[in-house]
């Protein structure tokens, strides 16, 4: 059952068009950034866009920030909205259910297919943007850091332990969560220290240069080693994936209600837009904690130091709530529905 749904997903050209378009947007942005070197002003624009000019290994995070607000939810809503209503409008749902197929397991299979789509899309976006980022921006700008070293060591008396680039610590900081990073390297874009632009001028301090190549800054100014960065990136990707499950649940539920997949997709998008509007409205603060998009941006908290888990945890619970309630509703609706087409 699940295998059938997955095959259906894979065989559809629309799936690949959606994934391709989602990967294309960050690539276009990267090309513009790399050719003009004009980054958004500090504190404005999408997250991490200024930072990627220094290190392309952060580009997956910037890419997630680019696709998260609109493109990713649209793609998820299209796929999830089509899952049941699409069969219905094509007239295949009737035949499907004539076969000895339990409606509950059909619904579950549909959900699994949507989840696989979300996971695959997030992985594809992160993977392609890592390749694009590192090839266009390099994995770190060793020259800038090496040049900054004398300044730091010379005049940093007021600041104790200014971080690994301060010159006093020759060793790479032990990366927290290194084990997770190791596992993540299979699917996550692990930052590889060697994948640099090959710029090797003024190599007076080999250790500092290697550190510089392999580390990017967290939002709090901590240097992140490759393993640490990969672990955080994996966390962010998992979180973004889970954030999309709420959208998927809304669209899937609507998909069982209507026979028009367009209606289900647009309904889910309307719910998201309403949620986005209310989240930005101070007057609606009493309901904001329950809105599906409230904690979407919390993935950026993985890049703070120490990692700020409050909103991330809240976001996970919230999405779980949406999935449980809406899938129950979808099940209640679908299991008792008269399938006429």
Partner 1 sequence: MVAVVGALLVGVPAVLAARPGDATADPAQLRDLVTASADKPWTGYAEARAALGVPRIAALSDVSTLLSGVTRMRGWYAAPDQVRTDVLTPVGERDRYVTPRGQAVWDYGAELLTLVARDPRVRLPRSEDLLPPDLARRLLAGTSPSDPATALPARRVAGVDAAGVRVTVADPETTVGALDVWADPSTGLPVAVEVRAKGVPDPLISTAFAELAQGPPDPAALAPRRGPGAGVTRSPTSDLFGVLGRGDGSTLPDRLAGRDREPPERRFPALGQYGTTLGQLIAVPLPPDLAGNLLSGIDRAGAGRTLTVDGQGSALETPLLTLAVVRSQDGARAWALSGLVPRPTIDSGAADLLAGGAT
CB of 25 to partner 1, least distance (A): 18
CB of 7 to partner 1, least distance (A): 31
Q: Is 332 in the site for partner 1 (CB under 8 A)?
A: yes
* Stretch binding partner 1 (CB under 8 A), from 131-139, 187-195, 243-251, 321-329: 321-329
Q: Output the six-digit token pair for 149.
A: 């070293």
> Which one, 42 or 100, has the nearer CB to partner 1?
42
- In the list 45, 127, 178, 263, the residue contacting partner 1 (rule: CB under 8 A) is 45
Backbone angles phi, psi at 113, to 5 degrees: -60, -40
Q: DSSP 3-state assignment of 216? A: strand
> Which one, 120 or 193, has the nearer CB to partner 1?
193
Q: Where are the beta strands (DSSP E) in the chain?
A: 216-217, 223-224
CB of 117 to partner 1, least distance (A): 25
Rounded to whole angstroms, how far apart are CA atoms 195 and 211? 13
Backbone angles phi, psi at 338, to 5 degrees: -85, 110
Cβ neighbourhood burial of 205 (10 Å; 0-12, 13-18, 19+) = middle
Rounded to whole angstroms, how far apart are CA atoms 275 and 272? 5
Q: Is 294 in the site for partner 1 (CB under 8 A)?
A: no
CB of 217 to partner 1, least distance (A): 2
- In the list 11, 38, 282, 340, the residue contacting partner 1 (rule: CB under 8 A) is 282
The footprint of partner 1 on this chain (CB under 8 A) covers a number of residues equal to 57
Between residue 84 and residue 143, which ones bind partner 1 under the rule CB under 8 A?
A: 140-141
> Which one, 185 or 297, has the nearer CB to partner 1?
297
* Stretch binding partner 1 (CB under 8 A), from 14-22, 39-47, 125-133, 269-277: 39-47
CA distances from 197 to 55, 128, 242, 256 (A): 10, 18, 34, 51
Rounded to whole angstroms, how far apart are CA atoms 45 and 214? 26
Q: Kindly give, in sequence order, each residue whose CB lies less than 8 Å from that of residue 183, ignoring residues fewer than 6 positions away.
A: 234
The residue among 54, 59, 74, 55 whose CA lies nearest residue 28 is 59
- In the list 13, 42, 100, 174, the residue contacting partner 1 (rule: CB under 8 A) is 42
Site string for partner 1, 149-168 (x = CB under 8 A): --xx--xxxxxxxxxxx---
Between residue 215 and residue 244, which ones bind partner 1 under the rule CB under 8 A?
A: 215-223
Q: DSSP 3-state assignment of 186? A: helix
> Which one, 116 or 152, has the nearer CB to partner 1?
152
Rounded to whole angstroms, how far apart are CA atoms 341 and 206? 70
CB of 264 to partner 1, least distance (A): 18
Rounded to whole angstroms, how far apart are CA atoms 295 and 313? 9
- In the list 3, 14, 102, 310, the residue contacting partner 1 (rule: CB under 8 A) is 310
CB atoms within 10 A of CB 61: 30
Positions in the binding site for partner 1 (CB under 8 A): 41-48, 50-51, 54, 65, 140-141, 144-145, 148, 151-152, 155-165, 211-212, 215-223, 282, 285, 290, 297, 300, 304-306, 308, 310, 321, 324-325, 328-329, 332
């Amino acid at each position: 059952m699940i295998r059938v749904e997955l095959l259906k997903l894979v065989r559809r050209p629309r799936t690949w068009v959606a994934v391709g378009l989602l990967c294309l947007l960050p690539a276009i942005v990267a090309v513009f950034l790399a050719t003009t070197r004009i980054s958004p002003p500090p504190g404005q624009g999408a997250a991490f866009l200024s930072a990627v000019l220094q290190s392309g290994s952060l580009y997956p995070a910037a890419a997630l920030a680019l696709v998260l607000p609109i493109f990713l939810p649209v793609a998820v809503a299209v796929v999830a909205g089509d899952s049941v209503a699409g069969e219905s409008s094509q007239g295949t749902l009737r035949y499907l259910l004539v076969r000895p197929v339990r409606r509950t397991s059909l619904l579950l299979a549909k959900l699994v297919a949507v989840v696989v789509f979300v996971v695959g899309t997030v992985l594809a976006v992160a993977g392609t943007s890592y390749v694009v980022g590192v090839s266009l921006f390099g994995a770190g700008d060793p020259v800038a850091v090496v040049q900054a070293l004398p300044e730091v060591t010379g005049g940093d008396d007021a600041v104790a332990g200014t971080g690994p680039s301060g010159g006093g610590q020759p060793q790479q900081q032990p990366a927290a969560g290194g084990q997770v990073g190791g596992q993540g390297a299979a699917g996550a874009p692990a930052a590889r220290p060697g994948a640099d632009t090959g710029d090797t001028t003024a190599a007076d301090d080999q250790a500092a240069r290697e550190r510089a190549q392999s580390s990017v800054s967290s939002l709090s100014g901590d240097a992140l080693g490759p393993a640490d960065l990969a672990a955080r990136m994996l966390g962010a990707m998992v979180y973004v994936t889970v954030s999309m499950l709420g959208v998927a649940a809304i669209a899937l539920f609507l998909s069982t209600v209507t026979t028009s997949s367009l209606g289900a997709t647009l309904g889910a998008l309307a719910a998201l837009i309403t949620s986005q509007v209310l989240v930005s409205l101070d007057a609606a603060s009493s309901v904001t904690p329950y809105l599906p998009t409230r904690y979407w941006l919390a993935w950026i908290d993985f890049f703070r130091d120490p990692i700020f888990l409050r909103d991330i945890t809240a976001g996970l619970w919230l999405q779980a709530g949406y999935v449980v309630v809406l899938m129950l509703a979808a099940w209640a609706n679908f299991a008792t529905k008269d399938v006429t087409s």
